[in-house]
Homo-oligomer: A and B are copies of this chain.
Amino acid sequence: MTRRELVLRVGRAGGYSAAFSIMRSMGLLAAPPAVPEALRITPGMGKGTKVAILGAGIAGLVTAYEMRKAGFDCTVIEARERPGGRNWSVRRGTKIEFTDGTSQLCDFEEGHYFNAGPARLPSTHQTMLGYCKELGVALEVEVNTSRSTFLESDDAFGGQPIEQRQAINDTRGHVSELLAKTIQQGSLDQQLTSEDRERMLDFLETYGDLQPDHTYQGSLRAGARQLAGAADLTQVTRDPLPMHALLDANFWRSLMFEESFDMQATMFQPVGGMDRIPYAFAQSLGSVVKYGCPVQEIRKTSNGVRIVYRERGVPQSLEASYCVCALPLHIAKRISNDFAPRVRAAFDQVNYDSAFKIAWESRRFWEQENNIYGGISWLTNPNIGLVWYPSARIFSEKGIVISGYSVEPKQFAPLSMDAKLALSRGAVEKLHPGRSHELAKPIYVCWGKIPYNEGSWVSRGQGERENAEGAAYYNGPYKEFLTPDDRIVFAGDHCTHVIGWQEGAALSARRAINLIAEHVRKA
């Protein structure tokens, strides 16, 4: 019997109070679950034990930060001249160099930036929020959803962008009207008790903002044709959008984005750029992080590891008791190494996605003309599927808007940069006719072409539902990176079920630390 069946049976037999007692006792109504990966190291445990940490992304930084507290002697070896890995804020003076030799120099106005990698922190990512607090990184709200943003499909409404408040509330109105109709017709008499039929009709009247006769005639929730004002200016409701058009599959496919558990309407971002987080870690770690040091060899020794790297062209070597390998898997794979055959085999099964973002500096016409303050508009354009408005410095004159963020579609990837920028501009033009000429200073970041990343995140395969069950990656190579390879422990979001999030990187680091602590405790 499933839990659901149990609750239903208890409910039928003992009434709803009994059912809720059961649910409470099963934790079904509990507060959000505690954060996993409590640290199991103790202060002083390290006693100067040497740890080599490969990569100064979030996983590497968290590892070093926590292990130092416990008395381990950590060295973070980082190929780049900056910390953060994929956590990278592009601003005036940032150079974007691709593996194919393409180079861009960002010349945004002073104070502007965009987050090329992670750009939002959900409230449930308590590990990362905790580090922000501990390190004094100031956070502000990132507006992830706005009812004033648009949905656009070329197949619906003649390609005209529709305000989300209109699409969402008219859809709910139509759905509510239809269901109310069927209840009144008696079609659900088998499924619902007469009490529930009455309750449902009352509910639908409010849910869909229906008329007393249970028809949907439009709702002010969907936006006003005329705003209320002084004297005779009363609010005038818009006529409802026809249901047939709202049911266009391309139109509604992004409608429920805001209900994703990870994608809340209001999220958080560090004031000034996401890279405030790695820089805060780096400041705390000081000389523990060695920049400009690409790893050349990962070797096992009798009692630990030897890491060979280059520092300004000069080969260096670091002996340590433990290694935490927090590099992207397909970067680690190419380094000369002594990994076990099972690990090498797993490397060969891993594929990386290549996500891109295109950002522009512009007057904030979306605020000034469309009441859009943050949030995302969605298009059915196969290449540029969204336009993401900035939450940073709202109400100021200019801002950085993202037009295009996704894994690069097959037909998009081979286009020239100019062609990609033109498509990006075109998406803005579609949503904001006559405004795309105000877009300036484009920056195109393609993670597949960024040295030392060459990808955005491990590919989880197709067809996964929101709960990520049945994904190719988890069922394939995943488990090999969870078990240490002698004294080498893997870290990174690819060692978690929180792929593509900083929270995953941090949790993986804490797990790696616990694995080493366990080994130390046994030794």
Contacts and interface: CB of A to CB of B under 8 A. Distances in A.
Interface of A: 2-4, 7-8, 11, 16-17, 19-21, 23-24, 27-33, 35-37, 123-124, 126, 129, 132-133, 139-141, 143, 145-148, 157-158, 160, 162-163, 165, 168-169, 171, 175-176, 178-179, 181-182, 185, 187-188, 191-192, 196, 199-200, 202-204, 206-207, 209, 217-221, 223-235, 237-240, 242-245, 247-249, 252-253, 255-256, 259-261, 264-266, 268, 369-374, 391, 394-395, 466-469, 482, 495-498, 504, 507-508, 510-511
A330 to B, nearest CB: 21
B227 A32 contact: yes
Contacts of A20: 157-158, 160, 245
B511 A148 contact: no
Given A36-B227, A129-B395, A147-B264, A31 B370 contact: yes
Nearest to A245: B16
The 9 closest A-B pairs by CB, nearest first: A187-B187, A36-B229, A228-B497, A199-B247, A141-B141, A230-B511, A20-B158, A182-B182, A221-B259
16 contacts: A19-B242, A23-B239, A28-B225, A31-B370, A36-B227, A139-B394, A139-B395, A141-B373, A146-B265, A147-B259, A199-B247, A220-B261, A229-B497, A234-B469, A235-B468, A268-B394
Nearest to A466: B220
B219 A466 contact: yes
A200 B181 CA distance: 15
Contact of A32 (B24, B146, B148, B268): B148
A182 B186 CA distance: 10
Nearest to A5: B239
A221 B261 contact: yes
A353 B341 CA distance: 77
B175 A178 contact: no
A221 B258 CA distance: 9
A124 B242 CA distance: 25
Contacts of A227: 32-33, 35-36, 124
A180 B507 CA distance: 40
A425 to B, nearest CB: 20
Contacts of A265: 145-147, 265-266
Nearest to A509: B230
B260 A36 contact: no
Contacts of A126: 371
A25 B371 CA distance: 22
B191 A178 contact: yes
A231 B32 contact: no
Contact of A4 (B220, B239, B243): B239
A254 to B, nearest CB: 10
Nearest to A228: B497
Contacts of A200: 178, 247
Given A230-B37, A249-B202, A256-B206, A242 B147 contact: no
Contacts of A169: 259
A217 B37 contact: no
A252 B206 contact: yes
A27 B178 CA distance: 27
A240 B23 CA distance: 11
Nearest to A247: B199
Contacts of A187: 182, 185, 187
B32 A497 contact: no
Nearest to A432: B31
Contacts of A391: 141
A495 B231 CA distance: 6
Given A7-B242, A230-B498, A232-B482, 18 more contacts: A3-B239, A16-B245, A20-B158, A27-B225, A28-B239, A29-B157, A133-B395, A141-B141, A182-B182, A207-B256, A220-B261, A229-B498, A230-B504, A230-B510, A231-B482, A235-B497, A265-B266, A266-B266
